[in-house]
Amino acid sequence: MLLPWKLADIANNFGINPNIFWSHQNGSTLSKISELVIADVTSGKVVEGQLEYDVVSKCGKRLEVRNMFGKACFAPSTSTGKGRFFELSLFQKKLSKTDSYIFVDLNPTRELNQPQAYLIPAQLVSDLYEMGALGSTAHINFAKRKVYRSQWRSDTFRFQELFDYPTFKLDLTNLTKSYDAQTILSLAIQKIEKTF
């Protein structure tokens, strides 16, 4: 779904040119805003403290909200940033306590377009990680590849290769979607191989 942000109005209310305002925002500055918006659109609430998820929806689904510009990170926030490293046990704990990830693509805000929200079940993330599709640290690039090298299979997949928006857009009528990881991976490989 497209998130109902009034981008120009928000910037104008601060007295800042909208293009300048949104060019200075990043995933961190908008983190709490995204959590509050997802809580609102799911009729849920933002959780208190540092849990493995950020929002509990009205229907009881535990949702981890993540913002994206250049990368998509499935790992715990303690694994992201300078001086931090990936810990498999913490990642597995996050997956076991979270029902789904909500990824918010913030790239459209640079052009004053609505951010897109994706719903990705934690079980699918777990399965794709086990299959090696998310690399060893569960961080993958969001941006599309400019070119595919002949040995592209040795690279990790890109977010948009695995999670196309029409399939994974946030659907409030169904927060319990499930997918077969092998099918998702096979479809991604087929799409890539068509580019050769």
Amino acid identity at 100: S
**Separation between Cα atoms, residue 101 and residue 134, nearest integer Å:** 14
pLDDT of residue 109: 94
Q: What is the pLDDT of residue 84?
A: 73
Domain layout of the chain by residue ranges: 7-193
pLDDT of res. 44: 95
pLDDT at 78: 75
Low-confidence ranges of the chain (pLDDT < 70): 79-83, 148-155, 196
pLDDT at residue 83 in the model: 65
* pLDDT at res. 82: 64
Residue 123, phi then psi, degrees to nearest 5: -65, -40
| Predicted TM-score of the model (pTM) | 0.90
Per-residue pLDDT tens over the stretch 170-186: 988 878 888 999 999 99
Residue 31 phi/psi, 5-degree rounding, is -60, -55
